[in-house]
Each structure stands twice: as structure tokens, then as C-alpha cells.
């Protein structure tokens, strides 16, 4: 199949640059509410998606040094948002998991996303909403 026209892509780029900015605000608000920094939030989200992952997994995925992630984990453990477990099957590694407090933080974070998405759908009529959701699903499905 042929690519989209440069004009289409350009238009989308401008719009999405705005969209992501809006999402960043939601992110910053949720982070501030828990007095977490941006990296901590990203780590929480990753651990939520990948329970019992190791520090290296998170560090590679978020493109930060392993030592940085170790510090981040220290912080999150201190704030009782995650647990560090030494699994019997590989005692070098750690298995990170969210505590109930961590789950709550992630929920608050997703709630901000939810609000931002609601605001996006508001200006559309019923037909366009269904269409927009359908298209985003189609894109998302394709990528995984």
C-alpha cells in the first residue's frame, strides 16, 4: 500500500504535537499530586504493564542508566509504591511489583488521561466519535 501524503502526515504531526502536550500536562499534574518526578511515573506505568519485571527491563525501556533506575526504585520503595523481591529462580535479579498504593497512583494517572480523552471526543458528534475510536483502534491493533 502507498504511504499517506506528506500533507496529511504534516497536518497530523502538528495536531499530535498539541495532543501530546495536553497529555503531558495531565501527567505532570498526576506526578505532582504524588510528588513524583516524570521518571518515577514512567517507571510505575511500566511496572504496571510488566509485573515482576527487573530493573534492567525498566531501564532499557525508558532509556536511562541502570543506576538511575536503581535510585528510582529506592524512592518508589521508600514511598511504598512498589516492592523489590528477590526471586528464588534467579537471585541476582529483582522482581518489581506495584503495591496497592502504587496501583492507586497509576489509576490517578490514567484518570488524567481519561479526562484528556474525554475532552478530545467532546467536540465530535456521535457518528464522528464512533468513527474516531474505530480508526484509533485500527491503528493500535496494527502495531502489536
Partner DNA sequence: GCGGTATACTACGATATTCGGATTATTCAA
Partner DNA sequence: TTGAATAATCCGAATATCGTAGTATACCGC
* Interaction site with DNA (CB under 7 A): 37-39, 54-57, 64-68, 70-73, 75, 84, 89-94
Pick one of DNA, its own copies, none as the site partner of residue 28 (Cβ within 5 to 8 A by kind): its own copies
Residue 66 contacts its own copies per CB under 8 A: no
Exposed/middle/buried for 113, CB within 10 Å: 0-12, 13-18, 19+? middle
CA-to-CA distance for 109 and 35, rounded, in angstroms?
12
- Closer CB to its own copies, residue 20 or residue 90? 20
Pick one of DNA, its own copies, none as the site partner of residue 33 (Cβ within 5 to 8 A by kind): none
**Binding residue for its own copies (CB under 8 A) from 35, 91, 92, 143?**
143
CA distances from 129 to 13, 38, 46, 139 (A): 21, 31, 29, 15
Footprint of its own copies on residues 108-137 (CB under 8 A)?
110, 113-114, 116-125, 128-133, 135-137
CB 71 within 8 Å of CB 59: no
Region of 63 (left: φ > 0; alpha: ψ -120 to 50; beta: rest) is left
**Binding residue for its own copies (CB under 8 A) from 8, 70, 71, 90?**
8
Amino acid at each position: 500500500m502507498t504511504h499517506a501524503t506528506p500533507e496529511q502526515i504534516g497536518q497530523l504531526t502538528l495536531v499530535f504535537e498539541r495532543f501530546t502536550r495536553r497529555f503531558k500536562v495531565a501527567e505532570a499534574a498526576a506526578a505532582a499530586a504524588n510528588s513524583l518526578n516524570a521518571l518515577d511515573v514512567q517507571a510505575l506505568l511500566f511496572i504496571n504493564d510488566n509485573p515482576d519485571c527487573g530493573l534492567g527491563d525498566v531501564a532499557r525501556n525508558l532509556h536511562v542508566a541502570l543506576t538511575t533506575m536503581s535510585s528510582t526504585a529506592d524512592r518508589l520503595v521508600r514511598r511504598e509504591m512498589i516492592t523489590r523481591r528477590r526471586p528464588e529462580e534467579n537471585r541476582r535479579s529483582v522482581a518489581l511489583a506495584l503495591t496497592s498504593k502504587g496501583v492507586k497512583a497509576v489509576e490517578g494517572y490514567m484518570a488524567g488521561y481519561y479526562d484528556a480523552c474525554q475532552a478530545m471526543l467532546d467536540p465530535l458528534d456521535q457518528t464522528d466519535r464512533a468513527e474516531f475510536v474505530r480508526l484509533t483502534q485500527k491503528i493500535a491493533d496494527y502495531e502489536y
